């Protein structure tokens, strides 16, 4: 059993998102007043969503070992069951680390978060997402990924930012990745909305 490794405050912030009704339209409509401002980030958001989708595809390959063997061929030196477990671990780890790096580093999201924070009357759902984006632990994770001061294996990441060392389990990193993927996908959709639209 993997321990529930996550900063308590970040866990609480992610719980708020997970408790919100599953309604992507509500999130998009909350951002719609900034449609023309988000349009300048369309390419950036599209690339972030595309790369995040590729990261998720790696996790799908874990269930399709016939295809996974083409990506990570057998060495012929180990028991086939052990090789399959190692392949699954490699694909899962790659998916989680690449997905986190995409969401926090590649996307260069600070200008987008700053823009969304300017909305004077933010909905509860958008406020929950922004709370996660601005969380101190997310900043530390971003710094560690940017500077390569992390180790990620055996379903957990140990990351260092200055003198602070912390740990987070892959399942919790995937919770974070999922939340950020939802936010960036909704923002991208809004950036493509026709001029003058008032509801999605």
Going residue by residue through the chain, which has 200 residues, state the pLDDT in tens, using 9 for 90 and above: 345 789 999 999 999 999 887 667 889 999 999 999 999 999 999 998 888 888 877 777 777 777 777 776 777 677 777 777 777 777 788 888 988 999 899 888 899 999 999 988 888 899 999 999 999 999 999 999 999 999 998 889 999 998 999 999 999 999 999 999 999 999 999 999 888 776 77
Q: CA-CA distance, 132 to 75, in Å (whole number)?
A: 42
Q: CA-CA distance, 168 to 135, in Å (whole number)?
A: 15
Closest CA relative to residue 182, chosen from 9, 25, 12: 25
pLDDT tens, residue by residue, 6-61: 999 999 999 999 988 766 788 999 999 999 999 999 999 999 888 888 887 777 77
Residue 2: the pLDDT is 45
Residue 77: the pLDDT is 76
What is the model's pTM?
0.84
- The angle formed by the CA atoms of residues 92, 174 and 50, to the nearest 5 degrees, is 80
Fill in the DSSP letter of residue 107. Answer: T
Neighbours of 20 (CB within 10 A): 17
- Please answer whether residues 95 and 58 qualify as being in contact, where contact means their C-beta atoms are separated by less than 8 angstroms: yes
């Amino acid at each position: 059993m993997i321990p529930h490794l996550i900063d308590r405050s970040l866990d609480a912030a992610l719980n708020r998102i997970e408790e919100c009704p599953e309604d992507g339209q509500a999130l998009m409509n909350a951002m719609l007043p900034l449609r023309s401002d988000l349009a300048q980030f369309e390419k950036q958001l599209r690339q972030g969503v595309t790369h995040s989708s590729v990261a998720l595809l790696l996790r799908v390959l874990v269930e399709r070992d016939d295809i996974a063997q083409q990506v990570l061929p057998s060495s012929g030196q180990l028991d086939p069951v052990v090789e399959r477990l190692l392949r699954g671990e490699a694909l899962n780890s790659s998916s989680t680390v690449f997905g986190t790096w995409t969401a926090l580093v590649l996307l260069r999201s600070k200008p987008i978060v700053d823009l969304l924070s300017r909305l004077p009357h933010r909905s509860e759902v958008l406020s929950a997402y922004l709370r996660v984006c601005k969380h101190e632990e997310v900043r530390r994770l971003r710094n560690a990924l940017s500077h390569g001061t992390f180790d990620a294996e055996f379903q957990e990441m140990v990351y260092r930012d200055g003198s602070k060392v912390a740990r987070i389990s892959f399942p919790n990193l995937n919770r974070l990745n999922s939340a950020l993927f939802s936010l960036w996908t909704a923002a991208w959709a809004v950036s493509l909305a026709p001029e003058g639209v008032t509801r999605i």
